[in-house]
Structure 1
Amino acid sequence: MEVNTMWWAMPALLYDNNTVEDAALINAVPLTAQSKYIIKHLVIYSTVKLVLDAYSIDDLFDAVDKKCLNNQLLAHRAVFVSMFCNNQLRGCIGETDAYEPLWQNIIRFCMHSTRSDPRFDALEADELANTHFTVSVLSDLKQVVAINQQTLLTQLQVGIDGLVLDDGKKRAVFLPCVWSHFKHEQDFITELLKKGEWQATKWPQHLTGERFTVETVTGSILS
């Protein structure tokens, strides 16, 4: 199997030297072509090494040439990594809060999506040729009023916003891509309540909501 695992072997002209200190300001700027290139190859390299060479998370972190990471990859940013094989979901893991730099979160959730999604077996070597991925990089969360379904729905951009619901005990999230699974807009919220195991017949007490948008990076593991 021919795979270029030297993901950091990229032209020097792709590097930038931005020195913006404010993380919020960095995250407000759309991902650059350079950042998307690095994200794509982080996922390809990590997935191949996880599946073929049984790399650990520390092995992957150590393999990254830190000189190739720009400020967008070094900023703390939440992310979800979704794996698909033959166009069927194979794993999707992430977080809505960022506790590590984006590049580390991408590798970490690439590992979890490949190995640890409880809905699926670990990805196998013979699946790599038919595996593609989507990395969803989250914006900052923005609070919305969640006193009832209609009030909540009027604050969301259909097809654009993802949503987090939380009552202090349970938490559930839908990425923006989930809108396309439903015929009726209200089903987005109804099904998210079901995912969080809240009662469908009674609006949950103390429910809070946060919306977010995503930037996506897609690719194939063996392309």
Structure 2
Amino acid sequence: MSSVDQITKPICEGDREVLLALAEASIRHGLQHGRPLPVDSTAYTAPLQQQRASFVTLLKQGQLRGCIGHLEATQPLVADVAANAYSAAFQDPRFPSVTAAELPLLDIHLSLLTPAQPLTFDSEADLINLLRPGKDGLILEEGHHRGTFLPSVWAQLPDPKAFVTQLKIKAGLSANHWSENIRVFRYTTESFP
């Protein structure tokens, strides 16, 4: 089995629970110590020790309260989740830091990313036809502009053209911008709970 196959294999329910508990523990640690929970990855199961990219999304009463993650795998999954949980709670520039009073009101959602694969297309219409609504996460890049939408964003933007348009805006480009220098990468996620 290749390393990519191992990374795309879903993790077991027990490991999911461990990651969710770890994310909450890192936020609690951040409230007390002002930094992410230090993690010894060797204390966890093999799937949780693999280098994987993740996003941590915090919701408060169904509303976004923070979302931070990595697009590339640079560290063991447990360390990535701990770091991203801390960052989502305390470093998302869209929100003030989470308070101790808010912690019991937060719902923590994790998205584990597969390695991103480049898409080949000749036009914006061609790109839109390649998309798999509800399944694809996208990274759009041109020059120093870069943005991503997780697959969960399809719930708010189910139309592929609107999905691409809003992703261009998120990347700092205009809604109608198009050039042959745009690069797009596709990934999927394993999201829970």
Same fold (TM over 0.5): yes
Residues paired across the two proteins, number: 193
Q: Is the 8 A contact 1:194 1:200 kept in 2?
A: yes
The correspondence of residues 1-223 of structure 1 with structure 2, limited to 5 A, is: 23-51=3-31, 53-57=32-36, 60-62=37-39, 64=40, 66-67=42-43, 69-182=44-157, 184-218=159-193
Alpha-carbon deviations, 1:89-118, whole Å to 9, x = none? Answer: 110011111111111110111111010000
- Is residue 39–residue 217 contact of structure 1 (8 Å, CA) maintained in 2? no
Q: 1:61 is aligned with what amino acid?
A: P
Distance in 1 between the 2:174 and 2:9 partners? 39
Output the CA distance in 2 between the equivalents of 1:46 and 1:140. 25
SS of 1:216's partner is: strand
TM-score (norm 2): 0.92
Structure with max Cα Rg:
1
Q: Please list every run of at least 4 consecutive aligned residues from structure 1 whose deviation after the TM superposition is greater than 6 angstroms.
A: none
* TM-score computed with the length of structure 1 as normaliser: 0.80
Contact 1:198 1:204 in 2 (8 A): no
Unaligned runs of 5+ in 1: 1-19, 219-223
CA RMSD of aligned residues (A): 1.8
Give the superposition deviation at 1:65. Answer: 7.4
Given that residues 113 and 188 in structure 2 are in contact (C-alpha distance below 8 angstroms), is that contact kept between their aligned partners in structure 1?
yes
| 2-structure distance, mates of 1:175, 1:61 | 27
CA distance in 2 between counterparts of 1:121 and 1:38 reads: 27
Percent identity reads: 26
- Aligned position for 1:221: none
1-side partners of 2:42 and 2:14: how far apart? 14
Q: Is the 1:161–1:211 contact (alpha carbons within 8 Å) kept by the matching residues of 2?
A: yes
CA 23–34 in structure 1, closer or farther in 2 if over 3 Å, else same: farther
Is 1:164–1:211's contact at 8 Å kept on the other side of the alignment? yes
Query: Are the equivalent residues in 2 in contact too, given 1:81–1:106 (CA < 8 A)?
Result: yes
Separation in structure 1 between the aligned mates of residue 143 and residue 67 of structure 2, nearest angstrom: 23
In structure 2, relative to structure 1, the CA distance for the partners of 1:183 and 1:40 (3 Å cut) is closer
